[in-house]
């Protein structure tokens, strides 16, 4: 049986940082599902496809060949990681991620990846939908202020000129949109372990998750 680990939580809770480290420890492929929704937003904007044009969006996604290399998303041979993590994309991605037809296609792709490889996936609906049979589910949280602070540091370290209060506003707005959409909203799976990362170091979170995986692996 394949090993699959689900990590969910709101923007900036530390999902990708933690997932990459846990992936190394257990030799898992890291799948950043948020990057896949961001790729849809980026290419839809580039091609002037609005969020109401479902047919055009679906045919756009049907041209996508996505894979992860060194944790970066490669779309049709092009590394788009830097472009999809720009604040402009963060602002618009929720509206594309709330479309049922878009989610159906991406969830199918994500499940195909988990059937082929041992994976750790992070997102919003991994424990509740994509990997709902996984025995290893974690839900990371942190206060909006702590999450905005992390995003601020991450973006300024990349040399971007950003403003903390705008980031905090965006995070609060995105929490609302992601948690209140009709299709597969952000929600803790009943059987997920919740970890509040506000006051924990990255290593402490990785340790907690790794210990829990090891414990359950020995029970399987
Ligand atoms: O994790 P992130 O910030 O890169 O995610 C980008 C957006 O995609 C986020 O606003 C919610 C959405 N998303 C989703 O709806 N389902 C997922 N499995 C992953 C991300």
- Mutating to test ligand 1, I would choose from 9, 31, 32, 37 the residue with most ligand atoms within 8 A of its C-beta, which is 37
The response to whether residue 174 sits with its C-beta less than 6 Å from ligand 1 reads yes
CA of 220 to the centre of ligand 1 (A): 30
As a whole number of angstroms, the distance between CA 187 and CA 153 comes to: 27
In the chain, % of residues over pLDDT 70: 99
User: Cβ of 15: how many Cβ atoms within 10 Å?
Assistant: 27
Output the known binding site for ATP: 9-17
The residue contributing the CA closest to ligand 1 atom 7 is 34
**Residue range 69-88: average pLDDT?**
95
Q: Helices marked H in the chain — which ranges?
A: 15-26, 33-46, 54-61, 81-84, 87-97, 100-116, 144-157, 164-180, 202-219
Residue 87 tokens read as: 């604040």
The residue contributing the CA closest to ligand 1 atom 6 is 34
**Residue range 207-220: average pLDDT?**
90
Give residue-wise pLDDT tens across range 110-138.
Answer: 999 999 999 999 999 999 999 999 999 99
> So what's the architecture of 4-214 in CATH?
3-Layer(aba) Sandwich (3.40)
Q: Does residue 207 carry a pLDDT above 70? A: yes
Ligand 1 atom with the shortest distance to the CA of 177:
10
Half-sphere exposure of 135 (CA within 13 A, CB side): 13
Give residue-wise pLDDT tens across range 83-108.
Answer: 999 989 999 999 999 999 999 999 99
The response to whether residue 151 sits with its C-beta less than 6 Å from ligand 1 reads no
């Amino acid at each position: 049986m394949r090993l699959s680990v689900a990590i969910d939580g709101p923007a900036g809770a530390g999902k990708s940082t933690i997932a990459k480290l846990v992936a190394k420890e257990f030799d898992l492929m890291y799948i950043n599902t948020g990057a896949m929704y961001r790729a849809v937003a980026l290419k839809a904007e580039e091609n002037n496809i609005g969020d109401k044009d479902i047919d055009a969006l679906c045919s756009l996604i049907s041209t996508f060949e996505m894979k992860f290399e060194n944790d970066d998303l490669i779309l049709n041979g092009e590394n788009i990681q830097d472009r999809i993590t720009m604040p402009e994309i963060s602002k618009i991605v929720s509206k594309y991620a709330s479309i049922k037809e878009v989610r159906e296609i991406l969830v199918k792709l994500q499940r195909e990846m988990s059937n082929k490889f041992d994976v750790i996936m992070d997102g919003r609906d991994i424990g509740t939908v994509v990997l709902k049979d996984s025995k290893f589910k974690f839900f990371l949280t942190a206060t909006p202020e702590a999450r905005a602070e992390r995003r601020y540091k991450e973006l300024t370290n990349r040399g971007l000129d950003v403003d903390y209060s705008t980031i905090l506003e965006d995070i609060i707005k995105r929490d609302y949109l992601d948690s209140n959409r009709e299709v597969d909203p952000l929600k803790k799976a009943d059987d997920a372990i919740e970890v509040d990362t506000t006051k924990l170091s990255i290593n402490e979170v990785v340790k907690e998750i790794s210990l829990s995986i090891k414990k359950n692996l020995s029970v399987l």
